[in-house]
């Protein structure tokens, strides 16, 4: 797996190549109409960026409006693949690899920034519509309002958007992307700079959450979803695999309780798959883990310990209601080869 770094040894994340949007009222080029049954959301259960869209789809109750494809957590030289499906093909798109949707949209430059999830693909044509991961979740929460379930929460309330955006900006640079900048650094200086920024931000968030249940406002917002998907992977992957080892998430006070609170909220913990997560990072990043051995721990039952965050007030869904329970795991994997 090729890791993009600059001359200083710092990891540089490639931005999304396809930034079209799916909106309720399209106004020109680069905008597609919201239409139930037209699009397919492609995710990896291992990927924190894709995990965000999975949470929002579930919280909003968009399962019937937007179909879901789940890739194999193990990538090969062509990146995300549908190896878990019968005959190794997505049953709706007919593709073996997600890159096929990228090339269908842009045969010459479709792979310019690599192949990433989440991605939304038009089912009838197989064209990649967007892989703009920050915008996808906002639009699922706002633009798809007509098809959301009764009681769906407001994840990006107008009166709090400036504060949500400000929190998200810091969390993205120092935490969401910060763990990658730490783990993929190719020089000691780049690693130490990223490590320092990561834990400074986590300390700041820990202090912020001592006296308030959620990051912004009194119920779950886009900000909580973006932070949670990194926290869910922290002890299982980032602490050891990416050398983010000043302390574990479980050794924080408010931040660990906050993470457990979210995990125990419908739409969050039931979309976490530690098996997919650990297999992806430990078996794909062979430059970091050449043996490809997948660790057994940590014990996931710790996420179910009481958090007592309800004592701070607020409620997960505000005036709304939780989504219905899932029938079972999203996509179980076969046992590891021994």
Tell me which residues are annotated as active site: 47, 180
Spatial separation of the C-alpha atoms in residues 245 and 256, rounded to whole Å: 15
Three-state DSSP class for residue 43:
strand
Helix 222-233 and helix 133-142, axial crossing angle in degrees, nearest 10: 130
Spatial separation of the C-alpha atoms in residues 21 and 131, rounded to whole Å: 9
Spatial separation of the C-alpha atoms in residues 275 and 74, rounded to whole Å: 11
Asked if 208 and 215 count as a contact pair (C-beta separation under 8 A), the reply is yes
**Count of C-beta atoms within a 10 Å radius of residue 324:** 11
**In which order are the strands placed within the sheet that holds 39-43?**
67-70, 39-43, 119-122, 128-130
CA 310 to chain centre: 25
Query: Annotation-wise, does 32 bind a ligand?
Result: no
Smallest CA-to-CA distance from 177 within 208, 198, 162, 203 is with 198
Residues in the chain: 338
Spatial separation of the C-alpha atoms in residues 225 and 235, rounded to whole Å: 18
Q: Which residues are annotated as a binding site?
A: 80
Q: Which residues are annotated as a binding site for glutathione?
A: 80
């Amino acid at each position: 797996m090729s890791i993009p770094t600059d001359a200083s040894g710092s990891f540089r994340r490639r931005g999304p190549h396809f930034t079209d949007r799916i909106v309720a009222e399209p106004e020109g080029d680069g905008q597609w109409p919201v239409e139930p049954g037209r699009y397919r959301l492609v995710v990896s259960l291992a990927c924190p960026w894709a995990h965000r869209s999975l949470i929002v789809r579930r919280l909003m109750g968009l399962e019937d409006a937007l179909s879901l494809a789940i890739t194999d957590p193990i990538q090969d030289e062509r990146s995300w693949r549908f190896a878990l499906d019968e005959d190794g093909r997505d049953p709706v798109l007919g593709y073996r690899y997600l890159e096929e949707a990228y090339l269908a949209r842009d045969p010459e430059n479709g792979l310019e920034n690599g192949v990433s999830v989440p991605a939304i693909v038009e089912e009838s044509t197989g064209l990649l519509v967007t892989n703009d991961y920050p915008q996808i979740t906002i639009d699922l929460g706002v633009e798809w309002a007509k098809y959301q379930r009764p009681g769906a929460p407001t994840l990006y309330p107008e009166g709090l958007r400036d504060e949500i955006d400000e929190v998200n900006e810091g969390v993205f640079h120092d935490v969401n992307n910060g763990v990658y900048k730490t783990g993929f650094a190719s020089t000691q200086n780049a690693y130490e700079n990223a490590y320092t920024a990561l834990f400074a931000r986590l300390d700041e968030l820990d202090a912020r959450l001592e006296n308030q249940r959620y990051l912004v406002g009194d119920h779950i917002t886009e900000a909580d979803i973006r932070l949670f998907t990194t926290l869910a992977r922290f002890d299982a992957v980032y602490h050891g695999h990416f050398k983010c080892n000043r302390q574990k998430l479980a050794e924080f006070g408010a931040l660990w309780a906050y993470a457990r609170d979210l995990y125990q909220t419908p739409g969050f913990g039931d979309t976490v798959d530690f098996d997919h997560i650990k297999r992806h990072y430990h078996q794909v990043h062979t430059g970091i883990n050449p043996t490809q051995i997948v660790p057994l721990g940590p014990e996931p039952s710790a996420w179910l310990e009481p958090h007592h965050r309800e004592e701070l007030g607020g409620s997960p869904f505000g005036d709304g209601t939780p989504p219905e329970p899932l029938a079972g795991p999203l996509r179980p994997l076969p046992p590891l080869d021994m």
